[in-house]
Amino acid sequence: MSTGIVDEAVSQIRSKILRQNPAEKALPSQSALAAELGISRTAVREAMSILQAQGLIEVQQGKRPQVVPVSNLLLNEQLKLFIARQGASFHQVMEVRLPLEIEVTRIAAQRATPDNINQMQRCIDRLKNAKRLNDQIAADRDFHIRLAEATGNQLFVAILESFHHGLQVSMKMTLGNVGIRHALRGHRAILDAITQHDPKLAATRMQQHLKQAVKDYAPQGRRLSQ
């Protein structure tokens, strides 16, 4: 069978998924898709296998193909793999993260709701009380994700979740080197500015917080993949 036919089927079915109402989980049956696309059921089955491997659909025998809910897991894994394969240093990643998260914080200061602020405070409390390093890392990471959620922009959330997924090793080194005191101080200062709804102050405090993280990370130039 021509790979071009299968590739075209993959493209058309993917477009159909993107156009479909998110509330609709089921796609037409494979026979219906074959008739609609004017190709064989074998070609549709091969296209479905590719789409399932891409994490877009789930195929079970005797059931219509189901669209998989949107998840950041694939993006997280791809970015983590990219960082490891490229041998990116902590400092290279921070060069990208710094302007991004400063802007996230500036926007969050304008849009944060009382619930957003409460969630960030709970993350600070978790970090303060966490005894195990893995729990400290999780609380640190979750503060930044809750901050991104306060922007109301899910693209910021997806990107920062992926960045923090790729920064697990460096966060372990940083917290292992200096403990939680700098993270706690930085998070509290940021949340104070968010609570005041002061975008300029919040952005400045995030910049200070991330620059402190760079200082706390050692030795210089260590690869994130190590």
Task: State whether 77 and 186 are in the same domain.
Answer: yes
Task: State whether 171 and 113 are in the same domain.
Answer: yes
Please indicate, yes or no, if residue 226 is contained in any of the structural domains.
no
The pLDDT score that the predictor gives to residue 121 is: 98
Please indicate, yes or no, if residue 23 is contained in any of the structural domains.
yes
Please indicate, yes or no, if residue 225 is contained in any of the structural domains.
no
Helix (H/G/I), strand (E/B), else coil: 26: strand
The pLDDT score that the predictor gives to residue 73 is: 66
Please indicate, yes or no, if residue 41 is contained in any of the structural domains.
yes
Task: Tell me if the bond preceding 219 is cis, omega within 30° of 0.
Answer: yes
Task: State whether 53 and 158 are in the same domain.
Answer: no
Integer-rounded Cα radius of gyration of the chain: 22
Please indicate, yes or no, if residue 96 is contained in any of the structural domains.
yes
Task: State whether 88 and 60 are in the same domain.
Answer: no
The pLDDT score that the predictor gives to residue 221 is: 42
Which of 15, 38, 67 is at the close of a domain? 67
> pLDDT tens-digit profile of 170-182?
777 778 778 899 9
Count of structural domains within the chain: 2
Task: State whether 210 and 190 are in the same domain.
Answer: yes
Q: Which residues of the chain have a pLDDT value below 50?
A: 219-226
CATH number at residue 139: 1.20.120.530
Tell me the C-alpha distance between 33 and 160, whole Å.
37
Task: State whether 85 and 190 are in the same domain.
Answer: yes
Task: State whether 47 and 90 are in the same domain.
Answer: no
The pLDDT score that the predictor gives to residue 222 is: 47
The pLDDT score that the predictor gives to residue 151 is: 97
The pLDDT score that the predictor gives to residue 220 is: 44
Give the angle 61-78-166 at the CA atoms, nearest 5°. Answer: 130
Task: State whether 131 and 174 are in the same domain.
Answer: yes
Please indicate, yes or no, if residue 221 is contained in any of the structural domains.
no
> pLDDT tens-digit profile of 199-224?
999 999 999 999 998 888 864 444 44
Please indicate, yes or no, if residue 146 is contained in any of the structural domains.
yes
Residue 213: closest CA among 182, 167, 172, 181: 182
Task: State whether 57 and 78 are in the same domain.
Answer: no
Give the angle 173-130-98 at the CA atoms, nearest 5°. Answer: 45
Which of 67, 89, 119 is at the close of a domain? 67
Task: State whether 62 and 80 are in the same domain.
Answer: no
* CB count in 10 Å sphere of residue 3: 8
The pLDDT score that the predictor gives to residue 95 is: 87
